[in-house]
Amino acid sequence: MTKDVVGIVKRINSTWPRVRLSHLSLAFKLLVSDRSKFTSLLLGITFAVFLMVQMTSMFAGVLKRASATIINVGAPIWVMDPAVSTVGSAIPMPDYVVEYARSIEGVKFAVPMYSGGGMVKLPSGDYQAVTVLGLDDSSLYGAPRLTKGQIADVYAENGFIVVADSEYAKLNRPPVGAEFELDDHRAVIVGIAVVNSAGLFGVPTLYTTYSRARQYIPSTRYTASFILIEPKSTQDVPEIKARLQELGYLALTDQEFIERTSDYYKFKTGMGVNILLMTIISFIVGLSLSGQTFYSFIQENLDKFGALKAIGAKNHELVTIILFQSFVVSLMGLGLGVGYCTVVIGVARSVLPNYAAIITPFNLGLAFVMVVIIAALSGYFGVRRVLKIEPFDIFRG
C-alpha cells in the first residue's frame, strides 16, 4: 500500500510540469513593473475585499449583539417556549416549569430569569427605554461582573445594577447611589457592571432580582421568561432536553440558542438577504474591476507573451506566470482590504461606541474564498487569451 502511494507520487512528480522560481520571479517583475496597472489592480481588489469584509463584519457584529444576553448570562441550557426565536421575544412560562426542570435527574440546578423592557424617567424629564433582566433571587445566577458596588446590594430596597456599556451614556452615566424612576417605581443604582457584549437595540441594561423585576415591570400571568439550567454533566443534556420537550418546552444549549437567534436575523428579518446581496454586489464589483483590469493588462502585453512563446516559453509556463500574477495581486489586495477594513472599524468604534462590526475568522475565510475565485476567473480569462495567441502573429506583426 505504502509502496503504491510512493509510486503514484513519484509518477506525478515526474510528469507534473515543474514550476520554476525564476518563472515566478519573472511573473512578479512583469506584474509590478507596470506600476499604473498594478496599482489599479490592487485598488480594485482592495476595494472589493473592503466592501465584502465590511458587510460581513457588520452582519457578524449584529448577530453577536443579538445574542448579547445569552453570552453575558452564560447559562449552559436555556428553557423557553418553542415559539421563542430570540431573547427579546420571550413568552413567559408558568412557575411549575421551574419545578419540573428541577425534578429532572441530570439537573444540578434550575432558576427562572426575567427579561423585559421598561421606561426610565431621567432627571431631565425625558424617558429612556431600558432592558431589565431579573436574576433568581436566591442565587443571582447570571449576574454580571461589577466594577463598582457589591452584588449583594441588589437585595437592598429598589436596588438595580446598571451595565456600563456603549448605551450607559443614555442614562446620563448614573453613579452608584443615583436615583431614577422606572415605570413609576423608585429605583437606585447599587452597582456598575461590565459585560462581554453590548446589546443590539441601543438600549441600556439594568439587572435586578427576579421578584423585583416582576414587581416593577407590568407583566402577564406567567413571568418566567427563561429557565436557566446547569446540568450535572454534559451527558445529561440530551435527557434534559427530551424531558422538557415532553412537557411542551424547548431546551437549548447556549450555542444552539445563539444559532437560533442568528438564524432568525438571517432568514426572518430580511437582514441576511440584504447583507448577502451587498456581499454579492461587492464580489461582482471586485470581479469586474480586477477582471477587467487584469484582462487589459494581459491584452496590452499580449505581443510580449507571444514573443515569450516564440523564444521558447511553454504553455504551462505562461499559464503559471499569469495565474501567479493574478493570485499575487489578489492576495495582496486581500491583505490590504482586510487591513483597511480593520482600520475603518477601529476608527468607527472610537467615534461611535455602539458601532456593531467584528471581523471573525469566518469573514476572513469568506473574503479569502471570494478573492481566490476573483483571482481564478481573472487568471482564466488572461490564460485563455494568451494560449490563443500564436507566435506566428508576432512575426506577422
What are the residues binding another protein (CB under 8 A)? 20-23, 25-26, 29-30, 33-34, 301, 303-304, 306-317, 390-392, 394-397
Closest CB to another protein among 226 and 305? Answer: 305
C-beta of 45: minimal distance to another protein in Å?
Answer: 20
- Cβ atoms of 92 and 78 closer than 8 Å: no
Taking each helix axis from N to C end, the angle separating 254-267 and 35-66, rounded to the nearest 10 degrees, works out to 120
Indicate the residue among 24 and 276 with the shorter CB distance to another protein. Answer: 24
Residues, the chain, total?
397
Quote the least distance from Cβ 306 to another protein, whole Å: 8
Q: Least distance in Å: CB of 37 to another protein?
A: 9
Give the residues across from 146 on adjacent strands: 193
Q: Which is nearer to another protein, 213 or 313 (CB)?
A: 313
Q: In the complex, what is the shortest distance from the CB of residue 23 to another protein, in angstroms, rounded to a whole number?
A: 7
**Residue placing its CB nearer to another protein in the complex, 189 or 394:** 394
- Distance between CA atoms of residues 72 and 86, nearest Å: 14
In this complex, which beta carbon is closest to another protein, that of residue 19 or of residue 242?
19
CB 42 within 8 A of CB 334: no
d(CA 114, CA 288): 52
Q: How far is the CB of 374 from another protein (least distance, A)?
A: 24
Extract the runs of DSSP E, i.e. beta strands, from the chain. Answer: 77-80, 107-121, 127-135, 145-149, 159-163, 179-182, 185-194, 205-209, 226-231, 250-253
Residue 82 backbone class (left: φ over 0; alpha: ψ -120 to 50; beta: rest): alpha
Least separation in angstroms between residue 309's CB and another protein is 8
The residue among 364, 307, 313 whose CA lies nearest residue 341 is: 364
Return the sign of the alpha-carbon dihedral for residues 322, 328, 329, 333. positive
Backbone conformation region of residue 344, classed left if phi is above 0, alpha if psi is from -120 to 50, else beta: alpha
Q: How far is the CB of 43 from another protein (least distance, A)?
A: 18
Label residues 67-103 b or e (16+ Cβ within 10 Å = b).
Answer: bbbbebbebebbbbbeebbbbbebebbeeebbebbee
DSSP calls for 233-293: SGGGHHHHHHHHHHTT-EEEEHHHHHHHHHHHHHHSSSHHHHHHHHHHHHHHHHHHHHHHH
Question: Least CB distance from residue 35 to another protein, whole Å?
Answer: 8
By beta-carbon proximity to another protein, the closer residue of 102 and 316 is 316
DSSP structure class, residue 173:
-
The CA distance from 364 to 335, in Å, is: 10
Give min distance, CB of 289 to another protein, in A.
Answer: 21
Report in angstroms how near the CB of residue 286 gets to another protein at its nearest. 25
* Cell output for 220: 402577564
Which of residues 100 and 297 has its CB atom nearest to another protein in the complex? 297
Compute the distance between CA of residue 380 and CA of residue 96 in angstroms, rounded to an integer: 65
Nearest approach, Cβ of residue 204 and another protein (Å): 60
Q: How far apart are CA 120 and CA 72, in angstroms?
A: 22
Q: Which of 254, 258, 246, 263 is nearest to 78 (CA)?
A: 254
